[in-house]
């Protein structure tokens, strides 16, 4: 379909030099050139229509190919066994684009060799055998080009691997940004990303030098060929103007072809590397699924063999059968393989050849880390299933979600953010549980779902959901909640990666494993309460469940819409980019060198107007042009990498220092899009198109000057065409830039859905949500493709009009030449023949520069994000002034602010000691929302152990958010050892105050790097702390690798790493946010003992769901509805039968 148009393009390019030859011969003989002039107008016009029609038809194919490739990759993602999020993002965002980009130039693969053959034939026809020397030189240089291309391919393959590594680190840090910020690891995060970025930039610099050398070779090649050809021709014949300048035109076609060759070769290399990466991903081992058991209807699950991940088997010699309709509980210490057992049933594990896993029925799976989408509460529960209001309301009640939903601003339509970022751990688990029971399955695999909820919620979920709603289903529950074991039909105990017990409860209590249960009872033993009290009545006193975040009162549109600029790129963007490359002096030097490149080239061509031709000067000037080309390549590489590094680091700094609300309302894909596609554009495309654009501007300027030199009568035509040309540019750029912005913006949701999919693959496959995710991705990609197609149409509109202008410039050059001398006219026509390409290239590359600066614009947008420090400074005036009042307690903290040198106090490494005072603290998540904390005042003294309890949403977590300055709408004062919180820099505050969060933070690296990220301790100290904590047997060595987000570790093991890291940091104030919910009771006992031993002289604030963990603390804070309802010693609170704490203990005793 496109071949006829391609043949027309080749034919017109071939015939124009012959027409030029006859025009110059007629000028030498004073003959008419009217008909030949008209040919120089209509033939280029014909070529213009053919070229744009050919490209348009090709673009239709390319759009479809891109769609198919994206669908294939995403479909593979849904069935691949193990996926790396950053690599998938790079494949979808970069590699597929590179493959499609080279397909757009597919005809150039034919055009280049055909043009070289035609140019060789034309040279032979013009100068005879003299052309053979040049042709031989041409083919000698081909192997050099091929060798350079091979070296480039290897380097670019390595570069993409480095980009994957940087993307992996960036994705890991951004997805865990809450933990990174709270644990004061911001500087470590910045250093890690900048380290990987610097390695990447070093390779980019090396690669750019190679690219520059290749460009220099292709620039020098036509000069050598032309010199050899002219030298040989002058020995055998006299070069007339018609022969000389027609030959020059052929050389210019040859030079244009060869100058395009490096970019074509580079595109092919990039596409080949991209294809290899895509192919490698598509060849990855796929999820095998599970076999269906048909012959034995009474058996629900069969599992036999050894199972694990990669080269490590986690479970050995498993032989397990589970009957239909049974409740099976799997218990064992941290890291024993409980989660692996469930994954093995799902078919997600590596296994030996003799292994067998089979099921009889459909599977519902709930991971210990709940998988949630950036959707509403209803959307997450009903995901993939038909909406049934009655069923939905039933499920909400069963999962204890009704009180939460009542206080959400938009109820069940409330957006929960990416990964449920605005929800508490318990709310995430309950919504995930609601989704899996909304549609009833035959088999339920439940991984520790009860650990993240309050005890009274846990027992309701167990009774109402697991025991009652699912009573006829097969249920496999991995848990540390040993109090539920009597209700199990079958108990499985895992130890040292083996099943050491498999039987019923009666058999279980006859074994030594009953000691575990006894230890748990002893561990959770709380003081006996003699006086009976109506529990239901006391529970009614408690506040209803509330969300721990600003989700309570947010509008349905939680996620902010991405800002889309309009019109051409603002001047400020260019100014900031110039500043990032080193300012105006660097730009001026670069422009001067670019001018020297084009000037020396034009001057060497001007040498051909002399008779005889001074070949030595001609060659020297061409050699100078090559030297300046190499120098220009080196300088633009250094300037480009400097700018990209500066802006990349600035963007990352501002992102990780942004307030928490930014991450709550910004999709992950939007952030990753800037770190992948936009940074890659700045690394490669921007400097490339900027260089071409500058050279094309100079080319057009020199063409017009030569035409004016040929005849001043060219001026009127020049003015008219310039006006038309500029009008087209203005109209085109405004439309093109808006479309380019839409292209970038519509790409972000695709990356977001990819980032959401990777962590939830096991859940997606278990619940058969593959097609739903694929359809959503396909719909988003179709929207993106519309902008791509529209942009292509706008490009065709532009190029057709510019081609037509080029044809009129050529026609005007011929007319002007007929009024001037043949020599200068010959040079003017030769350059005018190239003007069409130059004009198209100029406006297209100018548009490409603008399009590439869209990436700069998007990066700069995040470079200007307000940091927490800046927002804190703005809000400081609205805070209540620090004015300490006397406290009646004899341990009160008395301060004299006039005597405090805050800066010196903070810089003192012994600060803080551990005294904390909250004075009239009132907190809102946003100014328009109601108060979450209401005029709270209390003091904590050095070395005290403070427990904080209360129902979900009572304000427990809000206390920590105030202490760690994660919210800005706070009135009142918090004083830490004499320093108002408002005067403490964020990084110092979070580095000096320790926290062990409920969601453990681990990152890719070694065990050593995770425990001691600041590298302040020796291996001996690290091993000693692990030994003292009793964790030394959990890890083989400090050099053991931790995969991205700790994928190769259990939840409990990750928590142990966090605890060890905090103990090693030796903070004077430590906050613990239910850090032991994911560990077994024996490990919990060790952790509690460690807390009391290692934190003996430290101030400890523990938020607790399980009362027994804080029953021996110095004092207890009981939160209710945003106020401190009770604050006293545990014994005093227990002595008061009307206290809320008393009711909590009573309730947990009965539940136990």
- Token pair recorded at residue 84: 């790396």
Residue 907 to residues 42, 726, 903, Cα–Cα distance (Å): 79, 60, 6
Phi and psi (nearest 5°) for 33?
A: -125, 20
Element (H, E) at 1005: strand 1005-1006
Token digits of residue 379: 């959307």
Q: Comparing C-alpha atoms, which of 803, 721, 728 is closest to residue 44?
A: 803
Computed from CA positions of residues 115, 119, 125, 126, in that sequence, does the dihedral angle turn out positive or negative? positive
Distance CA 743, CA 757 (A): 22
The pLDDT of residue 239: 63
- Answer yes or no: are the C-beta atoms of 606 and 571 closer than 8 Å: no
Can you tell me whether residue 672 is helix, strand or coil? helix
Please identify which residue in the block is written with the tokens 């545990």. 1130
CA torsion angle for 215, 217, 218, 219 (degrees, to 10)?
Answer: 80
What are the distances in angstroms from CA 16 to CA 47, 141, 982?
Answer: 11, 27, 76
Tokens standing for residue 1109:
């963990």
- The CA-atom distances, in angstroms, between 786 and each of 85, 97, 793, 914 are 26, 15, 11, 59
d(CA 558, CA 547): 15
Tell me the backbone φ, ψ of residue 498, rounded to 5 degrees.
-135, 155
What pLDDT does 946 receive? 93
| Helix segments in 1072-1129, DSSP class H | 1081-1094
Residue 544: predicted pLDDT: 32
Beta bridge partners of 80: 286
Question: What tokens were used for 943?
Answer: 């070395």
- Residues 6 or more apart whose Cβ sits within 8 Å of residue 418: 374, 559, 667, 668, 752, 755, 756
Give dist(CA 1152, CA 1147) in Å, integer. Answer: 9
Q: Which CATH superfamily is domain 902-1002+1049-1151 in?
A: P-loop containing nucleotide triphosphate hydrolases (3.40.50.300)
Domain with residues 2-283+583-863, CATH architecture: Up-down Bundle (1.20)
Query: At which residue do the structure tokens 């032989």 appear?
Result: 319
Longest dimension (CA), the chain: 125
Tell me phi and psi for residue 359, to 5 degrees: -130, 165
Written as six digits, the tokens of 851 are: 């399009």
- CATH 3.40.50.300 in the chain: give the residue spans: 291-517, 902-1002+1049-1151
Outline which parts of the chain fall under CATH 1.20.1560.10.
2-283+583-863
Residue 945 — φ and ψ, nearest 5°? -105, 115
Task: For 1019-1067, give the secondary structure using H, E and C.
Answer: HHHHHHHHHHHCCHHHCCCCCCEECHHHCCCCHHHHHHHHHHHHHHHCC
Q: Which pLDDT score is estimated for 819? A: 62
Residue of 985, 995, 756 lying closest to 179 (CA atoms): 995
What are the phi and psi torsion angles at 1126 (to 5°)? -145, 145
pLDDT of residue 706: 67
For residues 833 and 251, what is the distance between their CA atoms, to the nearest angstrom? 12
**Which residues, 6+ apart, have CB-to-CB distance to 303 below 8 Å?**
318, 319, 320, 321, 341, 344, 345, 356, 357, 358
Task: Name the pTM for this structure.
Answer: 0.73
**10 Å Cβ neighbour count for 1094?**
18
From CA 232, how far away is CA 250, in angstroms rounded?
A: 17
Give 721-742 as a DSSP string. HHHHHHHHHHHHHHHHHHHHHH
CATH of domain 291-517: 3.40.50.300
Residues of the chain with pLDDT under 50: 520, 522-556, 877-900
Residue 228 Cα to chain centre, angstroms: 53
CA distance 704 to 257: 22
pLDDT for 978 equals: 83
Reference 1128, options 1143, 1137, 1139; nearest CA is 1139
Q: What is the CA radius of gyration of the chain?
A: 36
Structure-block tokens of residue 906: 């903070």
Strands (E), 247-375: 291-292, 299-309, 312-323, 327-332, 350-351, 356-359, 363-366
Which residue has tokens 């036999």? 304
Gap between the terminal Cα atoms of the chain:
77
Distance CA(283)–CA(285), nearest Å, equals: 6
Residue 223 sits at the vertex; the CA angle it makes with 691 and 699, to the nearest 5 degrees, is: 35
Q: What is the pLDDT of residues 1104-1147, one digit of tens each?
A: 877 878 888 999 999 888 899 999 999 999 999 888 888 888 87
């Amino acid at each position: 379909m496109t071949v006829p148009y391609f043949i027309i393009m080749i034919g017109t390019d071939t015939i124009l030099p012959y027409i030029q030859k006859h025009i110059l011969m007629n000028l030498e003989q004073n003959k008419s050139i009217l008909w030949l002039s008209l040919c120089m107008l209509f033939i280029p016009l014909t070529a213009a229509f053919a070229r744009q029609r050919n490209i348009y038809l090709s673009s239709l194919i390319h759009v479809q190919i891109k769609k198919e490739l994206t669908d294939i990759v995403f479909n593979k993602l849904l069935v691949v066994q193990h996926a790396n999020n950053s690599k998938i993002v790079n494949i979808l965002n970069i590699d597929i684009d590179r493959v499609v980009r080279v397909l757009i130039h597919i005809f150039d693969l034919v055009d280049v060799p055909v043009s070289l053959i035609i140019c060789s034939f034309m040279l032979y026809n013009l100068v005879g055998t003299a052309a053979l020397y040049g042709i031989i030189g041409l083919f000698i240089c081909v192997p050099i080009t091929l060798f350079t291309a091979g070296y480039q391919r290897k380097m670019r393959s390595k570069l993409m691997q480095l980009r994957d590594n940087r993307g992996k680190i960036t994705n890991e840090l951004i997805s865990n940004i809450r933990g990174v910020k709270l644990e004061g690891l911001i500087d470590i995060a910045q250093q890690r990303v900048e380290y990987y970025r610097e390695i990447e930039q070093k390779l980019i610099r090396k690669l750019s030098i190679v690219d520059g050398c290749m460009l220099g070779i292709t620039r020098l090649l036509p000069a050598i060929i032309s010199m050899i050809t002219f030298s040989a021709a002058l020995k055998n014949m006299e070069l007339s103007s018609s022969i000389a300048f027609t030959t020059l035109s052929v050389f210019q076609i040859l030079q244009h072809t060869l100058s395009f060759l490096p970019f074509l070769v580079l595109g092919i290399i990039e596409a080949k590397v991209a294809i290899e990466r895509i192919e490698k991903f598509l060849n990855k081992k796929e999820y095998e699924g599970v076999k269906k058991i048909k012959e034995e209807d009474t058996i629900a699950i069969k599992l036999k063999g050894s199972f694990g991940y990669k080269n490590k088997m986690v479970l050995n010699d498993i032989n397990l059968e589970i009957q239909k309709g049974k409740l099976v509980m799997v218990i064992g210490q941290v890291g024993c393989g409980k989660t692996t057992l469930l994954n093995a049933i799902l078919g997600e594990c590596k296994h030996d050849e003799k292994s067998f896993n089979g099921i009889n029925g459909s599977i519902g799976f709930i991971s210990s880390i709940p998988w949630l989408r950036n959707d509403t509460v209803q959307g997450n529960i009903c995901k993939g299933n038909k909406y049934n209001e009655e069923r939905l309301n039933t499920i909400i009640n069963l999962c204890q979600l009704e009180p939460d939903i009542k206080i959400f601003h938009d109820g069940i339509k409330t957006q929960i953010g990416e990964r449920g970022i605005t929800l508490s751990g318990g709310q995430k688990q309950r919504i995930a549980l609601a989704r899996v029971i909304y549609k009833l399955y035959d088999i339920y695999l439940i991984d520790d779902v009860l650990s993240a909820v309050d005890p009274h919620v846990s027992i309701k979920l167990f009774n109402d959901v697991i025991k009652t709603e699912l009573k006829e289903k097969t249920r496999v529950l991995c848990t540390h909640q040993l109090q539920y074991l009597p209700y199990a039909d079958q108990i499985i105990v895992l130890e040292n990666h083996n099943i050491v017990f498999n039987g019923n409860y009666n058999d279980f209590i006859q074994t030594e494993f009953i000691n575990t249960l006894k230890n748990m009872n002893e561990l959770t033993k709380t003081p006996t309460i003699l006086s009976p009290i109506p529990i239901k009545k006391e529970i009614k006193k408690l506040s209803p469940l509330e969300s721990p975040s600003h989700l309570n009162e947010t509008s349905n549109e939680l996620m902010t819409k991405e800002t889309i600029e309009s019109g051409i790129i603002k001047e400020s963007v260019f100014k900031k980019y110039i500043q990032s490359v080193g300012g105006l002096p660097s730009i001026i030097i670069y422009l001067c060198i670019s001018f020297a490149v084009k000037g020396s080239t034009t001057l060497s061509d001007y040498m051909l107007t002399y008779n005889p031709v001074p070949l030595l000067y001609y060659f020297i000037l061409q050699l100078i042009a090559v030297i300046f080309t190499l120098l220009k390549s080196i300088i633009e590489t250094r300037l480009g990498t400097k700018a990209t590094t500066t802006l990349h680091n600035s963007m990352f700094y501002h992102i990780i220092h942004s307030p928490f609300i930014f991450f709550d309302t910004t999709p992950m894909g939007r952030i990753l899009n800037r770190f992948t596609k936009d940074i890659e554009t700045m690394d490669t495309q921007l400097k490339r198109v900027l260089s071409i654009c500058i050279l094309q501007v100079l080319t057009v300027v020199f063409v017009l000057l030569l035409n004016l030199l040929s005849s001043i009568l060219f001026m009127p035509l020049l003015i008219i065409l310039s006006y038309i040309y500029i009008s087209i540019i203005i109209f085109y750029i405004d439309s093109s830039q808006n479309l380019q912005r839409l292209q970038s913006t519509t790409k972000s949701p695709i990356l977001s859905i990819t980032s959401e999919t990777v962590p939830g693959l096991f859940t997606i496959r278990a619940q058969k949500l593959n097609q739903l995710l694929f359809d959503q991705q396909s719909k988003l990609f179709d929207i993106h493709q519309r902008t791509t197609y529209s942009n292509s149409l706008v490009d065709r509109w532009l190029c057709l009009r510019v081609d037509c202008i080029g044809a009129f410039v050529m026609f005007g050059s011929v007319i002007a030449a007929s009024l001037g001398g043949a020599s200068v006219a010959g040079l003017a026509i030769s350059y005018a023949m190239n003007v069409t390409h130059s004009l198209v290239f100029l406006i297209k590359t100018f548009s490409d520069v603008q399009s590439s600066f869209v990436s700069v614009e998007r990066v700069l947008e995040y470079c200007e994000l307000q940091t927490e420090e800046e927002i804190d400074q703005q809000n400081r005036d609205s805070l209540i002034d620090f004015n300490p009042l006397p406290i009646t307690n004899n341990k009160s903290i008395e301060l004299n602010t006039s005597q405090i040198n805050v800066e010196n106090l903070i810089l003192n490494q012994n600060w803080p000691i551990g005294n904390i005072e909250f004075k009239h603290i009132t907190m809102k998540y946003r100014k328009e929302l109601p108060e979450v904390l209401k005029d709270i005042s209390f003091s904590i003294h050095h070395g005290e152990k403070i427990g904080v309890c209360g129902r979900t949403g009572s304000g427990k977590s809000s206390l920590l958010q105030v202490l760690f300055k994660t919210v800005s709408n706070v009135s009142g004062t918090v004083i830490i050892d004499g320093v108002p919180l408002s005067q403490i820099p964020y990084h110092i505050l979070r580095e000096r105050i320790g926290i062990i969060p409920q969601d453990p933070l681990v990152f890719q690296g070694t065990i050593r790097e995770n425990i001691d990220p600041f590298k302040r301790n020796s291996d001996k100290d690290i091993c000693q702390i692990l030994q003292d904590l009793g964790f030394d047997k959990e890890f083989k060595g400090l050099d053991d690798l931790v995969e991205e987000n700790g994928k190769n570790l259990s939840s409990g093991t990750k928590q142990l790493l966090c605890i060890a890291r905090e103990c090693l940091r030796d903070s004077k104030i430590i906050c613990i946010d239910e850090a032991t919910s994911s560990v077994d009771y024996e490990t919990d006992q060790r952790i509690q003992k460690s807390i009391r031993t290692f934190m003996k002289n430290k101030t400890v604030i523990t938020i607790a769901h399980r009362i027994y963990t804080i029953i021996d603390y110095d004092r207890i804070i009981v939160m209710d509805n945003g106020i401190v309802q009770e604050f006293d010693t545990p014994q005093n609170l227990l002595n008061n039968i009307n206290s809320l704490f008393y009711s909590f203990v009573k309730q947990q005793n009965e539940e136990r």
